[in-house]
Structure 1
Amino acid sequence: MDPESENELSGMIAGAEGPLRIVGGGTQGVGGTVEGDVLSTAGLSGVVEYEPGALTLVVKAGTPVAEIEKVLAAEGQRLAFEPMDYRGLMGTKGAPTIGGVVAGNVSGPRRIAVGACRDFLLGVRFVDGMGRVLKNGGRVMKNVTGYDLVKLMAGSRGTLGVLSEVSFKVLPEPPARAVLLIEGLSDAEGVEALTRALTSPFEVSGAAHVPKGVDGAPVTMIRIEGFSDSVAYRADQLKALLAGFGAAQVETDAEQTAAGWRWVRDVEAFHGSDGDVWRYSVAPGDGPVLGEVLRGMGAKELLYDWGGGLVWVLTPEGADMRPAGMKGHATLIRASANTKARVAVFHPDPAPIQKISQGLRDKFDPRGILNPGLMS
């Protein structure tokens, strides 16, 4: 099924006689196995309205992210939340779409400074499981009554409805960037350095620690962005603040800094490596402790983002890597279908949250045809 308009999308869902597997660019592949007819939103593509002066963008859900970034770059603007590209990690092809980004609430390293995808989402249009066209929000930030469907759709992974159009607040691209690099720190030392930088007044926009960097040595990365004079001043202040962790190198080359943070954002350290990939969301201070536990369970490689609060882990195939009693959430990102059949992909929610989630699905997809089994 390849609708090219919202009306066609509505008709196809209303007339569906069985489960539907919703895809955008087909690049993520996160979630349980879904058996059903494929419904692609790739035909719902194009910029509907863009007002650079108002920092607002309205696009159809199947629009490739690369196309959106090109349009924004021409006006010196960007998607603030730095969405990850899953293709290298998952071994998939195609083009990531903005609907897939919203459906997964995909947010990159800059989340620690500005927030997640859902925080910049102004409005949505989507088709629910009965074929009804629904909309919520608008093209300016405002409060709404009833269901906040804008927030609900971000991260719902196509289980409440199929997005047809989304609107965002965008931000200017900063004119300068610098990255402080400190080599040789342990996980605990690296996260401590990141915490000190993040709690300083120097406006850090990226904070990652990699136990095994490109050259094989541990590296701690701290990014600052803004006007050139401000960036230079803050870089000097952070160097002094973190002097106890070792001498920091400062990289300001635009191409080098951009490539370095793509490496973190897209977890390039794991590309082409055998094994499953897990993603953990924890309190930043708990990250190194969790890392040690996971190493004891057989973890091969780790990467800490969001100041230590986001932990990517490459593990042996087929193992359940949820430590007993862990605080936080663990998600199985990449694994075989056999492993996904045995190991829950998403962290189990508490019973009250499960009840609310099921109630929402009953409301918006009473037939249970939208990506059934994906959130298992």
Structure 2
Amino acid sequence: RATATPCEPSSLAMLPAGAALALDDNAAAVRLEGPAISVTARRDDLLMRLALDGVRFETLEERDSAALWREVRDAEPVAAEVGQVWRISVAPTEGFAVVERIRRAGVPLLAHFYDWAGGLIWLCVETTSDAYAAVVRAAVDVSGGHATLIRASQETRTIVDVFHPQPAALAALTRRVKESFDPAHILERGRMRAEF
């Protein structure tokens, strides 16, 4: 709702219970930044809108706010888990649908949360040899976006490309740029893409 207001939030995150600041319940975190007078006016407007919608809310003091956004920045709700971690980028309106497709496909999710108003998904899955790459990427492809494998064993990284496969036209362009820039294939061999 905050994105559909003139309150101009600078950041929005959807956090699970137990995540940042030991939340008791799932929460949406809204960050407002700018000159103090502007932040105060926009905060008051947003709080009024939330109250009219019957939404329970709490404002954080600067220290707690900084701690919360540090946890979001560092992806702590998923980093604390022991599984494999994906960073998924999609249109903000597609975030929930992507996670639901992954869940319905039977992937055991250990933790996940949304940043960028739903456009950035941090997802931790149970450890497997392939990190559920085919399922995760198929769910992302439906919405248009990309999934990057952030944390997995070296063995998994030899099986699964870390970066989302590029569409054919973009892959051809990437290959031509790489060929013209590094014709001897001596830079970053195999690091970004297996074919390089």
TM-score by length of 2: 0.85
The number of equivalent residue pairs is 180
Q: Is the 8 A contact 2:78 2:122 kept in 1?
A: no
Summarize the Cα distance change of 1:282–1:245 in structure 2 as closer, same or farther, 3 Å threshold: farther
Give the deviation of 1:221 after TM superposition: 0.2
Mapping of 1:155-170 within 5 angstroms?
none
1:326 & 1:375 partners in 2: Cα distance? 24
1:326 & 1:337 partners in 2: Cα distance? 28
For 2:138, give the aligned amino acid: P
Whichever of the two has the greater Rg, that structure is: 1
Q: Is the 8 A contact 2:112 2:121 kept in 1?
A: yes
Match of residue 210 from structure 1: 15
1:316 & 1:271 partners in 2: Cα distance? 13
1:322 aligned onto 2:137: yes
Summarize the Cα distance change of 1:282–1:301 in structure 2 as closer, same or farther, 3 Å threshold: same
Select the structure that is richer in helix: 2
Give the deviation of 1:352 after TM superposition: 0.8
2:151 & 2:164 partners in 1: Cα distance? 14
Match of residue 103 from structure 2: 295
1:357 aligned onto 2:162: no
Give the deviation of 1:217 after TM superposition: 1.9
Match of residue 369 from structure 1: 186
- Compute the RMSD of aligned alpha carbons: 1.6
Select the structure that is richer in strand: 1
Please give the per-residue CA displacement for 1:333-370, whole angstroms capped at 9, x wherever unaligned: 11011111112211111111011111111121121122
**Residue in structure 1 matching 2:85, options 260, 272, 277:** 277
Summarize the Cα distance change of 1:348–1:245 in structure 2 as closer, same or farther, 3 Å threshold: farther
1:363 & 1:248 partners in 2: Cα distance? 55
Please give the per-residue CA displacement for 1:23-43, whole angstroms capped at 9, x wherever unaligned: xxxxxxxxxxxxxxxxxxxxx
For 2:10, give the aligned amino acid: S
Range 230-239 or range 316-325, more displaced = 316-325
Match of residue 28 from structure 2: 220
- SS state at 2:109 partner: coil
Give the deviation of 1:247 after TM superposition: 2.3
2:123 & 2:147 partners in 1: Cα distance? 10
Match of residue 2 from structure 2: 197
2:156 & 2:126 partners in 1: Cα distance? 11
Q: Is the 8 A contact 1:239 1:247 kept in 2?
A: no
Summarize the Cα distance change of 1:239–1:338 in structure 2 as closer, same or farther, 3 Å threshold: same
Give the deviation of 1:227 after TM superposition: 1.7
Give the deviation of 1:272 after TM superposition: 3.6
2:185 & 2:154 partners in 1: Cα distance? 22
Match of residue 242 from structure 1: 50
2:160 & 2:25 partners in 1: Cα distance? 33
Match of residue 64 from structure 2: 256
- SS state at 2:138 partner: coil
Give the deviation of 1:260 after TM superposition: 0.8
Please give the per-residue CA displacement for 1:305-338, whole angstroms capped at 9, x wherever unaligned: 0000110000011232323553221111110111
For 2:12, give the aligned amino acid: A
- SS state at 1:348 partner: coil
2:156 & 2:169 partners in 1: Cα distance? 27
Mapping of 1:49-198 within 5 angstroms?
196-198=1-3
Give the deviation of 1:304 after TM superposition: 0.2
2:122 & 2:24 partners in 1: Cα distance? 17
Mapping of 1:16-31 within 5 angstroms?
none
2:111 & 2:28 partners in 1: Cα distance? 15
Unmatched 5+ stretches in structure 1: 1-195
Unmatched 5+ stretches in structure 2: none
1:241 & 1:375 partners in 2: Cα distance? 46
Give the deviation of 1:211 after TM superposition: 2.2
Match of residue 312 from structure 1: 122
**Residue in structure 1 matching 2:156, options 317, 332, 339:** 339
- SS state at 2:87 partner: strand
Give the deviation of 1:216 after TM superposition: 4.7
Summarize the Cα distance change of 1:305–1:245 in structure 2 as closer, same or farther, 3 Å threshold: farther
- SS state at 2:32 partner: strand
